Amino acid sequence: MAIRTHQSISGFVASEPQLSYTERGDARLYMKVGIEHYRKELDNTFTQLETTFHDLIAYRGAAEQGAERIAKGDNIIADGRVREYSYERNGQRYEGEEFIATRIGHDLARTRYEVDRTERSSGRDGAAFAAPQRPAPSNAATIGM
């Protein structure tokens, strides 16, 4: 089986996150993410370069959770993939790229917060993730003693 790889980005939320819903009713979260870039100099100092800004989109659970917990200015890390797009409107062609996030969270290296460890309802059957139960041997002879 091949190892599925993902891309990730780390940056700050540069716009107010906007939660909307698709025609099918799925949650969709949009935000601009700023990424700061640096160049290492020969004397081991760093020079800050121009910050770049990118569109980040999340859907369904990641969108709903992100809308509740993430705000403009937060430092985040997102896991997902880059999607290139192009379209034509009023005779003009537009091209770009956006980051489709499957997971979004605060950057632990740059954020202080408290974790809520109360059990959440996921709608999943917890038994599906439990270790399989094996019956105990009936006597010592069956386990080779």
**7 to 1, 10, 56, 103, 120: CA distances (angstroms):** 19, 10, 13, 11, 28
Encoding tokens for residue 81?
A: 């993939």
Please give the structure tokens belonging to residue 118.
Answer: 């109360």
Q: Residue 133: is it exposed, middle or buried by C-beta count within 10 angstroms (0-12/13-18/19+)?
A: exposed
Distance of alpha carbon 57 from alpha carbon 69, whole angstroms: 15
Provide mean pLDDT across the span 124-138: 52
Q: pTM to 2 decimals? A: 0.72
**Could you report the per-residue pLDDT of 29-47, keeping only the tens digit for each?**
999 999 999 999 999 999 9
Beta strand spans in 36-74 (E):
38-40, 46-48, 52-59
Structural domains for the chain: 12-104 (2.40.50.140)
- Mean pLDDT for the chain? 86
